[in-house]
Structure 1
């Protein structure tokens, strides 16, 4: 285990301290500071940038060749930290406390220490790790947002109002799909200088906005939560496979949501986010697509096809099919067979 003790704020000084501990130079690009991890420690980099209004961002993209603990200890109130794990895993604990807060892929935690207690981040040996740490100086943030904070919900005020560190704060959850998209944009977009600084600042405030929306959503009962988490996408993909496998005998949407472990509201909202249509619209699309395939690839009667895809009403089936394909099922089959016969005749003629 290797220990790194950082005794500085703001974030530019954190990077300068880390560079000195690694015994390497740091780089500065206007207000963004970064340090490359030397090969004796591992690979990757750590970079930090401060914005106006008390907001800052640290990005860890590293793979250490031994277990590493970074101790952030400074004789001052520490920033409020929003930590997101995009890859790998770490653990966090408060200085002078042993209770660890694990953080792994798709998870996020919000932590604030009591008094001048610091923070400890533990990185695991040979673990490719990508962590975003959004850091807020609550005193500066409060001075900028005093009116708005005074009108905010009590659960949101609780996060920011304790700028003297009277008590510690800890929250954990799965970060939302919207946050995942912000991280992807930040990783895959590269602007220089002016545009780059504005982009990073705007993305950091977007990150904070989505986090507060998620935090507020998490204060609701499970059944009333509607924001889709990145980790819950797999549950919706599992539901799609159920749709395809059981198309002729599907249960209710709520029963399928329950089978994959999601509330009805979260399932419906998440499905619309992923597919751009409701679950019922998607099921209808699957049924009509299957009906089209059966019309052209089997000799099944339209009555048999209708039952195979789970429709009872012939007129309703024909109405939906015509809306999607422009003609009713019998005409679609007839047109297909005529075109097939014509193509065969043209091939024989040649």
Structure 2
């Protein structure tokens, strides 16, 4: 099934109110934030809007839905410039008059601008985690902020920001850097309150904006090496994760893994923190315990065999980690599985 929602994006507030109306309840409002919680019958998670000064705002999509969701943006007086960062599952974007949709994959960013005759349509898949950060710029209001700098800008950026009424289509997609991933994480995980939170998050928003525009210029003016380097680094980090999964019983140390994939140890650690929200050691430990649970459920291996299979030579240490994660020892969990199987 698919749920289609029509909404305006002339402001952060209006977009959230349109979404809330479609979902059938009022949004939560706090200072400069507007938030709607996904109803249980549709899935889980939230959509949040944060409005800052000079026409800058952020839409955050963090949810998992039971059905596909299509957001169709409508004709309006304002067509904001969007800098979208995809932190999880692949989504689709198309302009209304286009035949085909473009995929925006995990760790990709897109700079997007629509027109009144050719609006955005976003499609979010069902049963996949969605985590999107969309920086929204009302260029009419933002002009006051950057007017004195426009003449010094690159011609492409100057044209983009001077298109105050959104009369020109713009689309640019690329992988974003680990620095931007860090800023996104710092924005979304901010635990400050009230005025301090507003100041901190607005500062992070400008850091994200400036880094993304510089990244765009690097790709535009260079030979493409920056873009290739970002993609290659991400591929190497994901390759390291695959090595961990496939060689769990004979795991090398972090330095050796880093050398195998062609990264230095610090970059590998930073990459895991940005991509997987954990250190390399924690990733290894978590995957070992998840694999152990899978083996307990689906094989006849005993606990000692499983412990060695996941690369832990101490049965007592394995039991300690397993109980910390799942609340029961491996033996207790194995007995539960066996009992449940016998009852069937």
Please give the alpha-carbon distance, in whole angstroms, between the structure 1 residues aligned to 2:227 and 2:93.
28
Alignment of 1:269-288 (within 5 A): 274=267
- 8 Å contact from structure 1 (residues 176, 228) kept in 2: no
Can you give the 5+ residue segments of structure 1 that lack an aligned partner in the other structure? Answer: 248-255, 261-266, 277-350
- State the match for 2:217 in structure 1: 216
Please give the alpha-carbon distance, in whole angstroms, between the structure 1 residues aligned to 2:35 and 2:207.
22
Give the aligned CA root-mean-square deviation in angstroms: 3.0
Can you give the 5+ residue segments of structure 2 that lack an aligned partner in the other structure? Answer: 241-251, 270-344
TM-score normalised according to structure 2 size: 0.67
Which sits farther off after the overlay, 213-222 or 26-35?
Answer: 213-222
Give, in angstroms, the shift of residue 237 of structure 1. Answer: 8.4
* 1:144 partner SS: helix
Please give the alpha-carbon distance, in whole angstroms, between the structure 2 residues aligned to 1:204 and 1:195.
14
Please give the alpha-carbon distance, in whole angstroms, between the structure 1 residues aligned to 2:238 and 2:38.
38
- State the match for 1:90 in structure 2: 91
- State the match for 1:155 in structure 2: 156
Please give the alpha-carbon distance, in whole angstroms, between the structure 1 residues aligned to 2:52 and 2:174.
26
- State the match for 1:143 in structure 2: 144
Cα offsets for 1:202-245 (capped at 9, x unmatched): 11111101101110111144464289537624427869x9x959
Give, in angstroms, the shift of residue 12 of structure 1. Answer: 1.1
Please give the alpha-carbon distance, in whole angstroms, between the structure 1 residues aligned to 2:132 and 2:71.
13
Kindly name which structure, 1 or 2, has the bigger radius of gyration based on alpha carbons.
1
Alignment of 1:164-183 (within 5 A): 164-183=165-184
Alignment of 1:308-319 (within 5 A): none
Alignment of 1:250-329 (within 5 A): 274=267
- State the match for 2:81 in structure 1: 80
TM-score normalised according to structure 1 size: 0.66
Please give the alpha-carbon distance, in whole angstroms, between the structure 1 residues aligned to 2:23 and 2:237.
44
Give, in angstroms, the shift of residue 51 of structure 1. Answer: 1.1
Give, in angstroms, the shift of residue 271 of structure 1. Answer: 5.2
